[in-house]
Chain A
Amino acid sequence: MTEYEIVIGLEVHAQVLTDSKVFCGCSTEFGASPNEHTCPICLGLPGTLPVLNKKTVEYTIKTGLAMNCDIAEFSKFDRKNYFYPDLPKAYQISQYDMPLCKNGYIEFWVNGEKKRVGINRIHLEEDAGKLVHAGSIAESQYSFADYNRSGIALMEIVSEPDIHSPEEARLYLNELKKILEYLEVSDCNMEEGSLRCDANISLRPVGTVTFGTKAEVKNLNSFRAVQRALEFEAERQADLLREGGKVIQETRHWDESKGITIPLRSKEEAHDYRYFPESDVPPLVIKDSWVDEIKRGLPELPAVKRARFVNEYGIPEQDVEVLTETKAMADFFEECVKDYNEPKTVSNWLIGEFLRLLNAEGIEIKESKVTSRHLAGMLKLIKDGTISGKIAKTVFEEIFKTGKTAEIVVKEKGLVQITDEDAINDVVDKVISENPGAVEDLKAGKNKAIGFLVGQVMKETRGRANPQLVNEILRKRLL
């Protein structure tokens, strides 16, 4: 698609990680029975008075600071009015013209180039309830409303239309999620709905500045879905424009299984939310001292950490990318390096074996039994020759399974490396007599044969022989 430029803006809703809802004391815990976490306030019963949760304001400001935003000195809430059964009050308390944060940006790398995407605004609002349907939505006669989610705090993070490809959109979301996780202001669990994304996309002829007509794409349940839906939508719009057609401004639904977007019959001919100030929630005056206090609590952010890992530990950038993917992994790395000061080795084990096992089990680093001490302890055993690097994989798997220390695993399984020359010589005798062909090959100058013979000795000793020593002995004996 060379004749059109893609213009994308993303709206992300992130659940703010609090124990109680934004305007009442109901629990935010996921997975309760329907309507168990509700009260007169989040059910929208008449005569109730919402009281704002302080932490939701602080977490939103914290996010704004991490995304280089201006923090409002004065902010207020507004009512967004619409009639739908997921909204018991028939309005959502949100922020219209005075959001908590404005004019920020985040930066990330796209194919080796630094990309900056503007953040238009970040505001705080309450979530709506959840509607479920018996059977398929088409057959069902009723909707069933569960208001446990109603009133849970959400941050809406709105980007500028600075994103110019579906891939950039995915990378933007990836960085945004990482920032939220590092800040510990949202757990960003897309399956539980704590991170949701809507995308606006339009095309314009390359070289022009006027925006084309945009479509809004909803139901994007994973970062992959965002990229795929935008790829489809860009093609669809380009085809339309090439044929001289027009893009209609509408909301479209991403159908994951078919891989297409379809127009959503709009519930209202046009959105008209009739915003007006929320008279039940007094405005916020945010003093510099409050913002400064929040600023002091900011952790090291992903971009800064990445740069530091490259400089301080001399780790290649691609590896740092994996190592800092989660804060838990980055912290694990640094803790481990304190105990075993060979960053590259530690990094290789983390992004190699450890990540492989975590992925195979489908668990997070925090859920694993392995601690940084465990790994450091095992690396020390490799270094002092107690175990071979090859056997270490077996040891590590056992640590991963049982949570035992490397010393104990090695002792229990009898995995101590054999460095005694006599013991190795005995095995070498056996291997030489059993593999005359390979021995002939080696003597005839086929160097590859040595590898085979070393392998046979390792096999006989169940990986416990010191491979360098085996190599030396074989060479001494046969060459």
Chain B
Amino acid sequence: MVKRILSSKRQTMKNTIDINTVKRMAFLSRLEISDSEAKEFSLQLSETLNYVHKLNELDTEDIEPTIHVLPLKNVLREDKVRPSLTQERALMNASCKEDGYFKVPKIVE
């Protein structure tokens, strides 16, 4: 639904997120995307961002940046050890494991 509404305005929107930015974000997020997807996401992300840009109309001169959405501060605990999971429980949901380790494809630096 949202996609359709945004798409209908597509022609009038400015591309604030270009295709290279999309490709870079995909790379950083380890996502594989095709050129046509990159083009599509560029338009969609630009539309979303442009929509949110409406907030820039507000004067926020004297407003402190929101660092946390709840009025909480100094939530601290004492330095006490609590029981951990057993090794078996920790690895229970791992699709690949060996000798108590999580086994993952080697990442070459």
Residues of A bordering B, CB below 8 Å: 18-20, 24-27, 33-40, 43, 51-57, 76, 81, 83-85, 132-133, 137, 140-147, 264-268, 272, 274, 277, 279, 281-285
Interchain CB contact under 8 A, A20 and B75: no
Most buried by A among B83, B90, B108: B90
Interface residue from B24, B70, B101, B109 paired with A267 (Cβ < 8 Å):
B109
Cα of A107 to Cα of B102 in the assembled complex, Å: 45
B29 lies within 8 A of chain A by Cβ: yes
Interface residue from A34, A39, A143, A267 paired with B106 (Cβ < 8 Å):
A143
Using Cβ atoms and an 8 Å threshold, which residues of chain B touch A147?
90, 102
B81 lies within 8 A of chain A by Cβ: yes
Interface of chain B, main secondary structure: loop
Question: 17 A-B Cβ contacts within 8 A?
Answer: A19-B80, A19-B81, A20-B81, A20-B82, A26-B82, A35-B90, A35-B91, A51-B75, A53-B77, A76-B68, A141-B106, A143-B104, A145-B102, A146-B102, A279-B68, A283-B73, A285-B74
Using Cβ atoms and an 8 Å threshold, which residues of chain A touch B24?
272
Cα of A84 to Cα of B101 in the assembled complex, Å: 16
Interchain CB contact under 8 A, A35 and B102: yes
Interchain CB contact under 8 A, A144 and B98: yes
A129 to chain B minimum Cβ distance, whole angstroms, is 9
Interchain CB contact under 8 A, B98 and A36: no
Interchain CB contact under 8 A, B75 and A52: yes
User: From A286, which residue of chain B is reached at the shortest CB distance?
Assistant: B74
Using Cβ atoms and an 8 Å threshold, which residues of chain A touch B104?
85, 142-145
Would A277 and B101 be within 8 Å (CB), given that A268-B28, A282-B74 are in contact? no
B11 lies within 8 A of chain A by Cβ: no
Cα of A145 to Cα of B98 in the assembled complex, Å: 10
Would A54 and B77 be within 8 Å (CB), given that A36-B84, A277-B68, A282-B68 are in contact? yes
Question: Considering the complex, which residues of chain B in the window 64-102 have a beta carbon less than 8 Å from any beta carbon of chain A?
Answer: 67-70, 72-87, 90-91, 98-102
Interchain CB contact under 8 A, B75 and A282: yes
Interchain CB contact under 8 A, A143 and B105: yes
Interchain CB contact under 8 A, B107 and A85: yes
A92 to chain B minimum Cβ distance, whole angstroms, is 15
Interchain CB contact under 8 A, B100 and A33: yes
